[in-house]
């Protein structure tokens, strides 16, 4: 009876064709009441009297008002402040279009029209699913009601993006990984905590991925400030972006951290090093220019060995291995026996004395910071 009631509520909501005929005042109220996603947090949706909806073909980054029709994998929508908003069939949501490349979840693209599609990330990304991992539920189904627009045209995340910024922090540490769920963000957070304990001011950024705030909040909680991600540069997702665009995101996020006068920066690059955007980025000249040290996160010994060798063949400065692998002393010993760089547990990364050994520049930065503060 309960499920039937929810289905009836969803069915009773106006269809896209009917909704497009609604009066501006009705649209204004729906936008006000709609649940807004983390991905659209930089867009100003407070002046709803200036907003309308339109039926143009969507592009990556366009904001869309959509109706939830059937719950699936994602049953909550993350808000700008990180709250998990429970979704119900019939809910209106404001999310952004974007691609997704997630081997453990969905492969998805931006559709050509406003036909029904899916919510492919809890941070608020709309797309059309092509494939999914066999172990997860089908995606939550949504019906786009229209793209949000004002007098200047369709609202796109690019409008509210941070501007260009030049420069780099005195020390930039990149955390790369073998795959999704290898422990990259946890590794990054512990490095941040260790640097903070040493007395340094640390900034952090997530360069690539799919719009969601969980990784950002973890870095904030570890003591980094500021913490930025690719959504600050106007992208709901970096999947499908040109290599030059991803490199520009790297440069600008580093620039904004440098402008904040941090002593060092910890940056995370999503997914595994074989993911198409990640692979292109880490092999670029710009990555070499902006990164001083790489910590590699791996789920097991074999991926640690293969990943470090892949990076070293490309002359990238790998200084340590960590991540999920280090939860197992046996797996850690397997990796250590075949590697020339140390295998360090997550907890050890939060220890200044350990960071001093793998990052010789840290004591110099600390001495400089103590002199001029």
Give the number of other CB atoms < 10 A from CB of residue 194.
Answer: 26
Count of helix runs (H) and strand runs (E) in the chain:
13, 18
Average pLDDT estimate for 172-185: 95
- The answer on pLDDT for 17 being more than 60 is no
pLDDT: which is higher, 2 or 307: 307
pLDDT, tens digit, 9 for 90 and up, residues 252-271: 999 999 999 999 999 999 99
C-alpha dihedral sign at 50, 162, 157, 42: negative
**Nearest in space to 156 (alpha carbons), one of 40, 9, 10:** 40
Average pLDDT estimate for 42-64: 90
pTM over 0.75: yes
| Confidence at residue 3, expressed as pLDDT on a 0 to 100 scale | 39
| Confidence at residue 361, expressed as pLDDT on a 0 to 100 scale | 80
Average pLDDT estimate for 36-59: 90
- Mean pLDDT, the chain, as a whole number? 91
Whole-number Cα distances in Å, 152 to 25, 155, 162, 336: 19, 8, 19, 57
Residue 188 to residue 193: CA distance in whole angstroms: 9
Report domain extents, the chain: 2-157, 172-371
Residue 43 to residue 290: CA distance in whole angstroms: 29
Average pLDDT estimate for 46-51: 79
Q: What is the H or E stretch that residue 121 is in?
A: strand 117-121
Strand ranges, E, within 33-99? 35-36, 52-54, 63-70, 76-78, 84-86, 92-97
Residue 283 to residue 315: CA distance in whole angstroms: 9
| Confidence at residue 372, expressed as pLDDT on a 0 to 100 scale | 58
| Confidence at residue 50, expressed as pLDDT on a 0 to 100 scale | 78
- Give the bridge partners for 106, in sequence order: 132
Residue 116 to residue 221: CA distance in whole angstroms: 37
Say if residues 94 and 80 touch (Cβ distance below 8 Å): no
| Confidence at residue 8, expressed as pLDDT on a 0 to 100 scale | 44
| Confidence at residue 148, expressed as pLDDT on a 0 to 100 scale | 96
Residue 312 to residue 292: CA distance in whole angstroms: 14
Q: Does domain 172-371 have CATH number 3.30.70.940?
A: no
Token couple for 35: 């649940």
């Amino acid at each position: 009876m309960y499920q039937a009631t929810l289905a009836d509520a969803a069915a009773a909501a106006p269809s896209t064709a009917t909704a497009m005929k609604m009066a501006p005042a009705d649209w204004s109220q729906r936008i006000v009441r709609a649940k807004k996603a983390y991905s659209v947090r930089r867009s100003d949706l407070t002046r709803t009297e200036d907003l309308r909806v339109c039926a143009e073909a969507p592009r990556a980054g366009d904001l869309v008002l959509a109706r939830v029709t059937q719950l699936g994998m994602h049953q909550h929508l993350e808000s700008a402040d990180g709250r998990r908003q429970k979704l119900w069939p019939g809910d209106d949501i404001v999310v952004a279009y974007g691609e997704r490349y997630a081997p453990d979840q969905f492969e998805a693209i931006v559709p050509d029209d406003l036909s029904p599609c899916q919510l492919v990330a809890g941070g608020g990304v709309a797309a059309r699913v092509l494939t999914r991992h066999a172990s997860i539920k089908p995606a939550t189904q949504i019906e786009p009601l229209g793209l949000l627009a004002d007098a200047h045209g369709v609202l796109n995340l690019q409008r509210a993006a941070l501007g260009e910024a030049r420069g780099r922090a005195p020390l930039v540490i990149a955390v790369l990984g073998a795959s999704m769920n290898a422990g990259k963000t946890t590794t990054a957070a512990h490095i941040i905590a260790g640097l903070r304990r040493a007395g340094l001011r640390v900034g952090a950024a997530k360069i690539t991925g799919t719009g969601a705030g969980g990784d950002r909040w973890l870095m904030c909680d570890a003591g980094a400030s500021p913490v930025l991600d690719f959504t600050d540069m106007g992208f709901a997702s970096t999947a499908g972006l040109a290599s030059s665009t991803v490199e520009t995101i790297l440069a600008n996020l580093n620039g904004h951290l440098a402008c904040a006068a941090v002593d060092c920066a910890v940056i995370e690059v999503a997914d595994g090093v074989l993911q198409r955007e990640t692979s292109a980025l880490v092999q670029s000249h710009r990555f070499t220019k902006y990164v001083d040290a790489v910590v590699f996160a791996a789920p097991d010994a074999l991926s640690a060995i293969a990943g470090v060798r892949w990076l070293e063949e490309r002359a990238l400065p790998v200084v340590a291995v960590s991540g999920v692998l280090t939860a197992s002393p046996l797996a850690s010993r397997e990796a250590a026996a075949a590697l020339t760089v140390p295998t360090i547990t997550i907890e050890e990364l939060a220890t200044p004395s350990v960071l001093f050994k793998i990052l010789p520049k840290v004591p110099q930065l600390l001495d400089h910071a103590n002199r001029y503060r």
